[in-house]
Every structure is written in C-alpha cells, then in structure tokens.
Amino acid sequence: MTISEYIADQLVRAGVHYVFGLPGGPSIPYMEAFRAAGIEFILTSNESAAATMADVTSRLTGIPGVCHSTFGPGATNISTGAGEALLDRSPVIIFTSEVSDKLLSRTTQMKIDHQKLFEPVTKKSFRMDQGNVREVLRSAFMICREEYPGPVHIGLPSDIAELEIEATDIQFPASEKIEYENDIAAVISTLERARHPLIAVGLTAARMGAGKKLLEFLKECSVPVVLTPMAKGLLPENHKCYAGVLFHALSDYLEDIYEKTDLVIGLGYDQVEYNYESWMPDVPLLHFNTIRTDLPSGPNVTSFFGDPDDWFRLMKNLNKGSLLFDRSVIESVRNEMQTVFNGFSGHFGPVTALRILKEELPVDSIITADVGSHLHLVGQYWDTPAHDNLIMTNGWSSMGFGLPAALAAQLNKPGSTVVCITGDGGFLMAAGEVVTALRYKLRVIIVVFSDGELNLIKIKQSWKNLRLYGTSLYSGDLFMSERFLGVRVFTTDTEGLLRKAINQALSLDEPVIINAIIDPEDYKWLIVRPD
C-alpha cells in the first residue's frame, strides 16, 4: 500500500467513519484514499470547527475523532480545537501537512515548526516518515486514549503520501492498568469519620460512564450530590440527592448545603473545570480519580487513584447509620432556585426562551451549548435525561463551539433532534459552518440568543465598576433576512413566535436558524460572581 492508503485502511479498522477538515494540495492523495476506503471527508469552513467536530465525535462514539488541515495557517487554526480536545479530555488524532524533509532547513511559504506548535496543546506530536508509519499510528491511537485522553498530532510531510510500505496490521497491546500506591486505610478512616458528606461528581466520572454506579450507590447511601457542568446528566435533576451544578447560575444557593457538610468526596472530579478551593468549605477532601493529578495542599486532603469500580467499592465504608444530613435542605435549595428562575417569566429573556425550548423540544433532544452567559443558565436550568444529551466545553471554554458540535452530533446520531443554543457572539465565530450544515443536509436547529453584545464580558466589567467598552457586536437585527447563507431564519421576540418557530423547525428536514431576540437583563441577576 501507499502511505495514504495504509493510513486510511488503519483508520477504517479502528472504526473511524469521518475525517473533518480543510484540504491543501498535499491532502489530495489522503482524501482519495479516505474515499476509496469508505471514510467520508467532511469539508468544514474553518479548521477549528473540524477539530471540534472530531472532539464531539469521539465523545459520542468512543472512537478517536480524526481531523486534518494543511500547512501553516491551517495548522494554527486547527490548534484551537487541539486545545479543546486536550482540556475537555477527548481522544482525537490531528493530521496536518508539513513541508518535505528537503525544505525543513529552508525559508519557504507557509512553513512553521508544527511539532513546536502542537507540543503544548496535545499529548504528543509526531512527524511521520516512510520508516515510522506503523509505529506512529500505533502510538497515536494508544496515547490519545490513555488517561487522561486527549489529542495527538501527526505531521505528514508533503512528499510521502505515494510512497509504498508493507501493509501490516497494527497490533495494539492490551492497556496496562496503572497501579498507584494508595493509602487505603486513610481513605477508609476518612469515610468512616464522616457524618455529613457531600459528593462532587466531575468530568472524569462522566467520561467513565459512572452514572449507573452512582445511582446504585445512592440507593444504599443517600448523600447530597453536586455536579460540575460537564458531568451534567449523570444524575437526574429530579433525584432526591441531586442538589445542583457548581459554577453555573445561582450556584451560590448551594452554600446552604456546603455549610452543613463535614467531608467533600470528589468522584472523578477534574479541576480543569473548577478548582476545589474555589468553592469548598474548610472541611476535609477525599478525592477519587483515575490518575494522579495536582490537588489543593494541606493535611486534610486524602486521595485514591484507580478505576470507578474501586471508588465505589471503597465508598461502601461510609458510615450509613451516622448520615444525619437533613434531606429537606436539598429540596429547599432546589425549590429556591426554581422560584428565582420562575421570577423571570415576565419578559422575553433567556430564562423564558429556555423554558419554551424545554417545553417544545423532545425530551431526548441533544443540546450543544456554546460559551457565554446563556451557558451558565443552561447548565443549571436545563433538564438533561442523560450525559450525552448536553454537550459543552468547560475545560477549554472556546466560543464558537456550539454550532460545529451540533453538526457532529447530527452526523453521529442521525435519528436525534439536535439543537445548538448559542449567543450571537459565539454564532458569529462559527457562522461559516451554516454552509457545512446545508452541504451535508444536517437537520440541526440553531437557536441564537441575540442581544447584540458580549454579555458575559459586559457583566464582568460591571463587577469591576468599569465603563462598558468593546462588547457591542452590532445594532439592529443580526440577520435582517429570512435566509442566512441559504438557511431559513425564523425571527422571534415573543413566547408565541418562539413556540411557532420551534415547531416549524421540527417539521422541516433541513437546518434552521431561530433568531431569538432576547432581553439580556436576566443574566446579571443569575450569573454568580466568583469570589
């Protein structure tokens, strides 16, 4: 096989169905090899979106996502998505074209050092040659899936695609379980001493699919549970132990629960979302995770590193007969939050818009949420039947995530209703992907909360008593038309119009934009100011 054919063949064997990206001239042999092997090359409008689509594909399928770009500017664009996969913990393989060996020491167009570029935003960066193809692919697939999972970059010199190599299948050895030295006695002692524990569930638990184990544990031992944003959906909002989501809207109400706890148990808690010390009361911490990571310093920190099965086996040492937590506190906090949200129903703001979306969309819809003020509301207010039904970025937190994430969700879950909820700032960053949705006939509903400003930055300026500056996006109507880049636009500024637009969108077999012109006043009362 040629190198391009061999790469395509091994991707197919690994279960890859899509490669996302923008091609350059040296990409052509690889694209042809993908086509011949049955892999669809999904052309995006920006390389960053291609990496986001690879990231979300890996989250939904469990198979590493794959993306590709050309030299220089293509590589720098796709590196934004590399950082996203790194800090949101997604296994992704990023191919980029690179200059040939004979030009490595020369000044030439579009040339930068790709290995140095990708070193800080990937787990590993390789440069492929005729002699290392198998080893690079084998290493890339292994490294991207090891804990924590993340992206691996492979540079493809522009002149190697047609070189021939022996077509030998890659052999992947069984993953070795890392055995950490844990102080089991200290873990058990910490659990046995607790009388009012609080469980904080995080991204690692969500990635590891620990929801079922958590539900089984809570049947035997009712303990209040808070979630980080990317663990949303791991525990149903109506579960008696569910307290709320850290960091997002009204999370300061959770302090009523913190005040009564004497131990915080972090289950798969990844501080890339929210550091413990940013919210924890001054009580002992017991941290369960898959790998050893940095933790707050101090004598009251105990840790255990291993698999979720081991976490829950040890958790059985909680002294169930001494759990004296007043369950009514959880109910009171939840009711107070709901009362506050209900208080914003008198105008067409983000809370009203989200309530209508909840009422009109199928309960199993997949929601992708972009970064911005609206994300803080979605994280706390939205009801999520399962973890994969709400997709966001909170480790990397890059605006422009929502739209390409929705396209990837629709590609990988074609029978699902997929809805992107984005602010107008995030939408403008990824607006070109509207054409991608049209090109591949992806039936996504893009709900744009239009307020004409970068609202979250505006709020943060107001916290500092600064003059508002540099946050106004436009004046008037963002779209000013019934179509945008060929996609139908429904403009709404009332409850009735939004309900009508949602149901029209659900009836159509095409992408649709709902331009929801909202009053952003809700945000300043709901978003919690960090200490």
Task: Encode pLDDT of 411-462 as tens digits.
Answer: 999 999 999 999 999 999 999 999 999 999 999 999 999 999 999 999 999 9
56 and 80 fall within a common domain: yes
194 and 219 fall within a common domain: yes
* pLDDT (0 to 100) of residue 162: 97
193 and 299 fall within a common domain: yes
Confirm whether 86 is domain-assigned.
Answer: yes
Among 312, 332, 352, which residue terminates a domain? 332
25 and 153 fall within a common domain: yes
- Report residue 328's pLDDT band, with 50, 70 and 90 as the boundaries: confident
Confirm whether 426 is domain-assigned.
Answer: yes
Q: Is the pLDDT of residue 518 over 90?
A: yes
Confirm whether 163 is domain-assigned.
Answer: no
Q: Is the pLDDT of residue 322 over 80?
A: no
Q: List residues bridging with 27 in a β-sheet.
A: none
How much of the chain exceeds pLDDT 70, in percent? 98
- Report residue 104's pLDDT band, with 50, 70 and 90 as the boundaries: confident
310 and 409 fall within a common domain: no
> What mean pLDDT is predicted for residues 63-81?
97
* pLDDT (0 to 100) of residue 175: 67
pLDDT, tens only, 259-281:
889 999 999 999 999 999 999 99
Q: Is the pLDDT of residue 323 over 70?
A: no
Tokens representing 67?
């993306």
Confirm whether 236 is domain-assigned.
Answer: yes
In whole numbers, what is the pLDDT of the chain averaged over residues?
95
Tokens representing 393?
């970025």
How far apart CA 404 and CA 270 sit, in angstroms, is 24
Confirm whether 470 is domain-assigned.
Answer: yes
The answer to whether the CB of 395 falls within 8 A of the CB of 89 is yes
Q: Is the pLDDT of residue 342 over 80?
A: yes
* pLDDT (0 to 100) of residue 86: 98
Q: Is the pLDDT of residue 502 over 90?
A: yes
Q: Is the pLDDT of residue 94 over 80?
A: yes
* pLDDT (0 to 100) of residue 167: 86
> What mean pLDDT is predicted for residues 86-96?
98
142 and 64 fall within a common domain: yes
Among 122, 157, 192, which residue terminates a domain? 157
Q: Give the domain range for residue 29.
A: 3-157
How far apart CA 473 and CA 515 sit, in angstroms, is 15
128 and 199 fall within a common domain: no
Confirm whether 239 is domain-assigned.
Answer: yes
pLDDT, tens only, 348-361:
999 999 999 999 99
The pairs formed by 160-164 with CB atoms below 8 angstroms and a separation of 24 or more are 160/3, 160/100, 160/128, 160/129, 160/130, 161/2, 161/3, 161/4, 161/26, 161/29, 161/30, 162/2, 162/3, 162/4, 162/29, 163/2, 163/3, 163/130, 164/1, 164/2, 164/3
Confirm whether 467 is domain-assigned.
Answer: yes
380-407: b or e for each residue (b if 16 or more CB lie within 10 Å)? bbbebeebbbbbbbbbbbbbbbbbbbbb
Q: Is the pLDDT of residue 326 over 80?
A: no
Q: Is the pLDDT of residue 109 over 80?
A: no
Domain count, the chain: 3
* pLDDT (0 to 100) of residue 174: 67
> What mean pLDDT is predicted for residues 47-75?
97
pLDDT, tens only, 125-140:
999 999 999 999 999 9
CATH number at residue 237: 3.40.50.1220
- Report residue 516's pLDDT band, with 50, 70 and 90 as the boundaries: very high
117 and 79 fall within a common domain: yes
The answer to whether the CB of 414 falls within 8 A of the CB of 435 is no
CATH number at residue 464: 3.40.50.970
pLDDT, tens only, 10-59:
999 999 999 999 999 999 999 999 999 999 999 999 999 999 999 999 99
Confirm whether 174 is domain-assigned.
Answer: no
The answer to whether the CB of 42 falls within 8 A of the CB of 440 is yes
292 and 351 fall within a common domain: no
Among 332, 363, 382, which residue terminates a domain? 332
220 and 151 fall within a common domain: no
- Report residue 531's pLDDT band, with 50, 70 and 90 as the boundaries: confident
33 and 83 fall within a common domain: yes
> What mean pLDDT is predicted for residues 156-180?
86
* pLDDT (0 to 100) of residue 135: 96
Least confident of 242-246, 256-260, 264-268, 388-392: 256-260
Q: Is the pLDDT of residue 249 over 80?
A: yes
152 and 272 fall within a common domain: no
